[in-house]
Amino acid sequence: MFRNYTCLFFILFLTQVISQERDSNNYTYNGNKFSEKKVFDEAEMSYRKAISSEPNNLKALYNLGNTHYKEKDFDEAAQRFFQTQKETDNKYQKHKAFHNMGNVYMQQKEYAKAIEAYKNALRNDSTDDKTRYNYALAKELLEKEKQKQKDKESKEDQKQEEEKKNNQENDDKKDDGDSENQDKKEKDDKKSKNEGDDNKKDKNPKKNQDSDSKKDSPKPKGGLSNQQMKNLLEAMNNQEKKVQDKVNAKKIKGVPVRGKKDW
């Protein structure tokens, strides 16, 4: 009796599995038809129903990734391809999933990731010419991108160097300009001062004349001037002459007159 129930349960379970698998395959088939007609919304819905009915339906999972790719929903596409290669042990399926992952990364211009995806694809099938071509193309584009970035950085460095040089030249010009302005200001101040002195002289001619006379007549330094010496000598000569005249007068008075007879 118990054995009969076990057999019945197994039959029901198997029937359900077969039914789910059949439904999943039908949804997958419908999804493929919608995809061929480019009705991607319906195709996506059919593939999701197929996966819901049979989670191990890797064909529906892979085709769902292709549908996302055609809709340019690259992030979703990459996830579906990644799930596909992870869930299968079949090299052919792994190869296709990795190849399409590489295509997704190429569209996103993530060339380094694309190279790794194509490498994994070739590890599972090294004979695929399309994969080899895409792998070589991804490497070439990555090198160009690196060179472009290098050139950009070089131009930026050159631009910064030129800006630094221009700023230095502007600072030097400013310093020269400040120096010239300072020299001009000093000259203008000196000129204004001289003009002010000339105006004072013009307004006080007598004072200026006296001042000039004082400047022209040098002061004696610690002795008598020539005129004073001359006056002093003349005074001494006059005094000496007076003394000499007195002496001579006395001599004349004291000498007897010859020819006068005595008494």
State the alpha helices, DSSP H only, in the chain: 2-36, 40-53, 58-70, 74-87, 91-107, 111-124, 129-203, 205-216, 226-254
- Mean pLDDT in residue range 68-97: 97
What pLDDT does 26 receive? 95
pLDDT tens, position by position, 36-61: 999 999 999 999 999 999 999 999 99
What pLDDT does 190 receive? 76
> Contact 57/28 with Cβ under 8 angstroms?
yes
Question: pTM of the prediction?
Answer: 0.57
pLDDT tens, position by position, 231-240: 878 888 887 7
Domains defined for the chain, CATH in brackets: 20-141 (1.25.40.10)
Separation in Å, CA 101 to CA 106, 129, 171: 9, 16, 56
